[in-house]
Copies of this chain bind each other. A is one copy, B any other.
Amino acid sequence: MDATSRIERALAAAVARAEGLGGPPKLAEAMHYSVFPRGARIRPRLCLAVARACGDDEPAITDAAAASIELMHCGSLVHDDLPCFDDADIRRGKPAVHKAFGEQIAVLAGDALIVMAFQVLAWATVSRPERLSHLMLTLGRAVGAPSGIIAGQAWECEPVIDLAEYQQEKTGALFAAATVMGAAAAGMEAEPWRLLGERLGEAYQVADDIRDVASSREDLGKPIGQDAALGRPSAVAQLGMQGALARLKDLAAGAVAAIPDCPGAAELRAHILSESQRLVPPKLAAAAA
């Protein structure tokens, strides 16, 4: 089964648990709406690619690790879009959850997706409990305080922001979780995989800043020009477009160089280079390659 099918199946199985058994319908519907139809699934695809490079000896645990990262990502987007933060109308080309379901359900759907991200790890590891702890601790570190995506978002409430730290927490943390959890799901020593994820997270953040300037609204599925409009830190504002493209190229090369020794290193290298090119609008891809 290909990576996309595995990820979608794992996510669908998780969300189905929230939909069944007589729970409140709007919450379940909003959770489904937050996760489907799929976004780029960059983080879970990365997690799966690393697990495969490490042997993928327990595919159900790999799939759960990938799904847990995507559920956490989707939950964070729902909360980031709330009126008190970005007050975004559009996400992935359709109304943001708080627009479609109201603010109350948006808060609760985000909460429930966070909880579900941990649940899928526990469901998948019942017969291999020794793998649960590392997966959970890695996910928690990538998400919570003081250094996960929630902390990253909270830096926006502080008077002084260190751009590198902000982006590392806001974006890099979940990419690092993707690589570490991919290796941990396959039972390999996992921490050597953190650097790869951190570099890819940084690359993704730079690419995101580039897309915010250079994409069309249709390509992006959300309004463009938001960084400048909201005064947010941006690599393009800091380095210029050419500088940002050069930085992205360096970061992708650095990521490939950080792949630890493993049976599937060559395949993983190809995956990462191909994904890096997909991150920027086609007209700029040559410059970033």
Contact = CB atoms under 8 A, between A and B. Distances in A.
Interface in A1-30: 17-28
Contact of A125 (B22, B123, B133): B133
A111 B110 contact: yes
Contacts of A18: 144-146
Copies of this protein chain in the complex: 2
Interface of A: 17-28, 31, 79, 82, 84-85, 102-105, 107-108, 110-112, 114-116, 118-119, 121-123, 125-126, 129-130, 132-133, 136-137, 140, 143-148, 150-151, 153-158, 165
Given A118-B140, A158-B25, A107 B82 contact: yes
A22 B166 CA distance: 11
A230 to B, nearest CB: 13
B144 A122 contact: no
A133 B132 contact: yes
A136 B139 CA distance: 14
Contacts of A153: 104, 108
A134 to B, nearest CB: 9
Contacts of A31: 145
B133 A126 contact: yes
Given A27-B154, A102-B157, A107-B84, A144 B125 contact: no
B118 A151 contact: no
A129 B131 CA distance: 9
B157 A105 contact: yes
